[in-house]
Amino acid sequence: MLDVRFDPTHSGPLRGLRVLDLSRLVAGNMLSLQLADFGAEVIKVEDPDGGDTLRQWRERGPNHPEGVPVWWKVYARNKKSLAIDLRSEPGRAALRTLAAGAQVLIESFRPGTLEKMGLAPEALLALNPKLVIVRLTGWGQTGPYHQQPGFGSLVEAMSGFAAKNGAPEAPPMLPNMALADMVAGLYGAFAVAAAVREVETNGGAGQVIDLSLLEPLLSIMGPDAAAHHVSGQVPARTGNRTSITAPRNIYRTKGGDWVALSASTQGMTERLLRAIGRAELIDDPRFRTNADRLAHVDALDAVVGGFIGERTLEENLAFFREREVTVGPVYHIGQIVADPHVVARGIVVRAPDADTGALPMHAVVPRLSRTPGGLARPAPRLGEHTLELLRGAGLSEAAIQALIDQKLIAP
């Protein structure tokens, strides 16, 4: 694993972009991470009493009985922390001062909360007409559900993901990761880039981005709505198979490991059947076309799985890779971080960490040839940059001391 150092002098293509991130949990942090990794100055605006909830998500181990906030350390890297009480008017006044000099503001409150705080988009845009405001919620700013809580698990259920995920005989299955949040964060980063370009290149004004968790996840579900309209059928749960192409599955190897195989073109299927010594099946009426193979997928999987089951994982990988058949190992995280390709490309890096000495995390993606992203600073302590940022915004020492005296900031 590649060891890296945080380089505070690193400057990416988004240098000069100031982002105020008022969000909590995963989606907003995923969004602002993309911007921070490429040089934006992302300021996490946190409650002095505990900060972002991600700080509380801790991983415990033999050497760390109190737990390490790994979510925070990974998704808050490259960011600054301003701990200020926005429930107070002095705190909100300080935020307005910061917003006047920012290009982006991200929030994930329930619809209407900003308005109650006196920070409605209209007021912020009056203060800073070029500000891009991201409003991140479960269901959006409008519609019958807009006031309902919207955690990602609910969205993953309602989007159709859970209904088509899992084995045919099993219940619908939610992902064991923050899928809806992650997808929304990526969509949000693109939306910010588009809106900032409108301001900077096209001479436009700022605007509000209404970003729900539901719509991004629904958009990556494939053409399910169109398929349902045409066929009248709902997608079936197919486990590791797919209703689109066959063969596509995971297969158990000799020794108990697993490989994934996808022969999603006619040419690849024919190459696979020749490789395993079953070229005669290419013209078998059960397997001649993709539609034929889908109709007889049990028989096809028995042929492919039988061949794979007679060989170890290493033997299968070597055999199929030599013949350019599309297979890959089913890894757990301990295996993927040690994979020679992952190591050679530095896909996972190990960065200095105050709690663990060195902490693995994903490298910056994607890779830009001329102005790549990088690691400038570790995830901040709560309020680590409060005084620096307030002074930089022009607040007087007396005003800052008043905030300290009232316990409205964590310096």
CATH code of the domain containing 272:
3.30.1540.10
Q: In terms of domains, do 79 and 205 share one?
A: yes
For the cut 90, the answer to whether the pLDDT of residue 202 exceeds it is no
- The pLDDT tens digits for 367-403 are 999 999 999 999 999 999 999 999 999 999 999 999 9
Query: Are the beta carbons of 68 and 103 closer than 8 angstroms?
Result: no
pLDDT at 411: 83
Mean pLDDT (whole number) for 135-152: 93
pLDDT at 284: 97
Q: How far apart are CA 155 and CA 178, in angstroms?
A: 11
Question: Which has more confidence, 181 or 227?
Answer: 181
> What is the phi/psi pair of residue 334, to 5°?
-65, -30
Q: In terms of domains, do 86 and 214 share one?
A: yes
Q: In terms of domains, do 63 and 183 share one?
A: yes
Q: What DSSP state is assigned to residue 86?
A: T
Q: H helices of 238-353, where?
A: 266-275, 290-295, 297-309, 313-322, 333-336, 340-345
pLDDT at 157: 95
For the cut 90, the answer to whether the pLDDT of residue 329 exceeds it is yes
> Active-site residues: which are they?
181
pLDDT at 366: 96
pLDDT at 252: 97
Query: Are the beta carbons of 180 and 155 closer than 8 angstroms?
Result: yes
- The pLDDT tens digits for 94-110 are 999 999 999 999 999 99
pLDDT at 2: 87
Q: How far apart are CA 329 and CA 379, in angstroms?
A: 33
- In CATH, what number is assigned to the domain containing residue 193? 3.40.50.10540
Residue at which a domain ends, from 294, 319, 336: 336
Q: In terms of domains, do 217 and 261 share one?
A: no
Residue 49 within any structural domain of the chain: yes
3-state secondary structure of 107: strand
Q: How far is CA 394 from CA 65, 100, 149, 285, in A?
A: 42, 11, 37, 77
- The pLDDT tens digits for 251-298 are 999 999 999 999 999 999 999 999 999 999 999 999 999 999 999 999
Q: In terms of domains, do 23 and 132 share one?
A: yes
The number of distinct structural domains making up the chain is 2
Residue 143 within any structural domain of the chain: yes
Residue 236 within any structural domain of the chain: no
Residue 347 within any structural domain of the chain: no
Q: In terms of domains, do 73 and 132 share one?
A: yes
For the cut 90, the answer to whether the pLDDT of residue 236 exceeds it is no
Residue 230 within any structural domain of the chain: no
Residue 41 within any structural domain of the chain: yes
Percentage of the chain beyond pLDDT 90 is 92
**Residue 93: strand pairing partners:** none
The overall average pLDDT reported for the chain is 95
Q: In terms of domains, do 35 and 89 share one?
A: yes
Q: In terms of domains, do 216 and 252 share one?
A: no
Residue 106 within any structural domain of the chain: yes
Q: State the pLDDT confidence band at 210, using cuts at 50, 70 and 90.
A: very high
Q: How far apart are CA 71 and CA 29, in angstroms?
A: 10
Q: State the pLDDT confidence band at 330, using cuts at 50, 70 and 90.
A: very high
Q: In terms of domains, do 192 and 331 share one?
A: no
For the cut 90, the answer to whether the pLDDT of residue 186 exceeds it is yes
Q: In terms of domains, do 171 and 23 share one?
A: yes
CB burial string 191-216: b at 16+ within 10 A, e below: bbbebbebbeeeeeebbbbbbbbbbb
Q: In terms of domains, do 277 and 171 share one?
A: no
Domain that holds residue 8: 2-221+365-406
Q: In terms of domains, do 195 and 303 share one?
A: no
For the cut 90, the answer to whether the pLDDT of residue 308 exceeds it is yes
Mean pLDDT (whole number) for 21-30: 97
Q: State the pLDDT confidence band at 233, using cuts at 50, 70 and 90.
A: confident
Residue 142 within any structural domain of the chain: yes
Mean pLDDT (whole number) for 215-225: 94
Question: Which has more confidence, 120 or 233?
Answer: 120
**Residue 209: strand pairing partners:** 134
Sign of CA dihedral 311, 317, 323, 324: positive
pTM metric for this prediction: 0.93
